[in-house]
Amino acid sequence: MDYYKMSAAEAAGALQNKEVTSQELTASVLRRIGEVEEEIQGFITLLDENETLLEAEKIDKARASGESLSLLAGVPMALKDNLCTRGIPTTCASKILRKYRPPYDAHVVEKLKETGTVLVGKANLDEFAMGSSTENSAYYTTRNPWDTTRVPGGSSGGSAALVAAGEVFFALGSDTGGSVRQPASLCGVVGLKPTYGLVSRYGLIAFASSLDQIGPLTRDIRDCALVMDVIAGHDPRDSTSVPREKENYTDYLGRDVKGLKVALPRDYFEEGINAEVKKVVMEAVRKCSGLGMEIEEVSMPYTSCALPAYYLVATAEASSNLARYDGVQYGYRAAEAKNLLSLYKKTRNEGFGPEVKRRIMLGTYSLSSGYYDAYYLQSLKARTLIREDFQKVFENYDFIVTPTSPTVAFKAGEKTDDPLTMYLSDICTITANLAGVPAISIPCGFVDGMPVGLQVLGRPFDEGRIFQFCYALESLLGVRNQLPEVNVKRGG
């Protein structure tokens, strides 16, 4: 049986009812990987099959002995390759960390291990999570399962493609400016960026520390809530982790949404949004009224500041965070360096790819003497204004709804020579990171056979009600858990 077609919740239910074993689920996804991975190339590291099946067998034995297990115990999954895994390569898709094996697990990895999920492998990404297409990986470009001539988005493109192709039941990614939500939109899956501080960043290799968040990529809303039940929560090892009472997000599913108010910001539907994408999103928005929700248009005037503010804040923090990769302490070290300065230059020149170098240079420039006030400080002021835009809207509305991506998935190679055009791929998603609010992308339809995502943003720590709303909307949209026919090539 093709168990890989199940959602994570369906697989978990079948395990609990003893209709299937973890070994059978794992064997099913391993067969699927054998069928499609050569085409998709979603993994950087695929763990040994025998060891993976052995982990599944341990869960089966524990369940057979009557041991109390978590709902997701025995469900196969993947991790973005910027999440530290003890003894397993964690490369960030970069030459500079090609041989790095962390001595510890990220917090979210610890939580998933405690839950008993089965790790299948580490997913491809844009190098150091810098990109919107997974074309910046030092290894290869992951392909979109809906059309293998197109990109899956980025930077969590590998994670999104693996879930969409049925190679795992769910995956974790990281989101700095849309890196979970944009690939979720392009691959037709669900992707959540939690509120900043809700999920520990301990063990996430940093890109921009004030923006980064770890989030799940799943087949549907129930799966997303199940994964968040596991990974959310306070961790004292992360100074930005917020101590608050832990919620059960699945408890929100099925609750009535009548009377809730939705804001539709006109600033997210203007220039740059593909007309067909806008049409599909607006059709989905209209269905909200069928749920008894009020929908009103609003203005968020500082949205226009988001792109320049983001690419100054993010690159400045990247410049600082990536300074540690110098060939001395760990990672790649260039050969035949004449002195310490030469070692630094050669290591970083040879170890980093073009996009990472571009962002480091931009960030270093904006932080340099004479330019700090003109660029970086101004970007922080713009960030405050963007945050205030959200606060004002949330005084009167429960949710904000926008497109997730301005276009459907584009052709591989189409935007690689034009960084600015590539950066515009995140125009709808970066504001959530700047403001620190939760945001989710859910599939809402198709344009020319390619998935379109709808983005829902909520108040800080309001993930539960976001799930409540999206679960109700998901059933109306009718595009839940649709797997593409891999190996399809629609392009020329």
**Annotated catalytic sites, by residue?**
80, 155, 179
Cα 253 to Cα 249: distance, rounded to the nearest angstrom: 8
Give the strand pairing for 213-218 and 170-175: antiparallel
Cα 344 to Cα 327: distance, rounded to the nearest angstrom: 6
Cα 326 to Cα 345: distance, rounded to the nearest angstrom: 8
Query: Residue 12 has which token pair?
Result: 């978990």
DSSP state of 334: -
- Cα–Cα distances (Å) from 157 to 49, 152, 316, 355, 368, in that order, read 23, 5, 24, 16, 33
Spatial CA neighbour of 397 closest among 298, 476, 486, 469: 298
Spatial CA neighbour of 177 closest among 492, 480, 463, 422: 422
Q: How many CB atoms lie within 10 A of CB 249?
A: 23
Contact 238, 84 (CB under 8 A): no
**Bridge partners (DSSP) listed for residue 80:** 123
- Edge-to-edge strands, sheet with 261-265: 43-46, 118-123, 76-80, 170-175, 213-218, 190-193, 439-447, 450-458, 399-403, 261-265, 294-298
Give Cβ neighbours of residue 81 (< 8 Å, ≥ 6 apart): 44, 45, 89, 90, 91, 92, 93, 122, 123, 124, 125, 158
- With vertex at residue 252, the alpha carbon angle to CA 247 and CA 258, rounded to the nearest 5 degrees, is 140
Cα 412 to Cα 361: distance, rounded to the nearest angstrom: 26
Cα 280 to Cα 270: distance, rounded to the nearest angstrom: 15
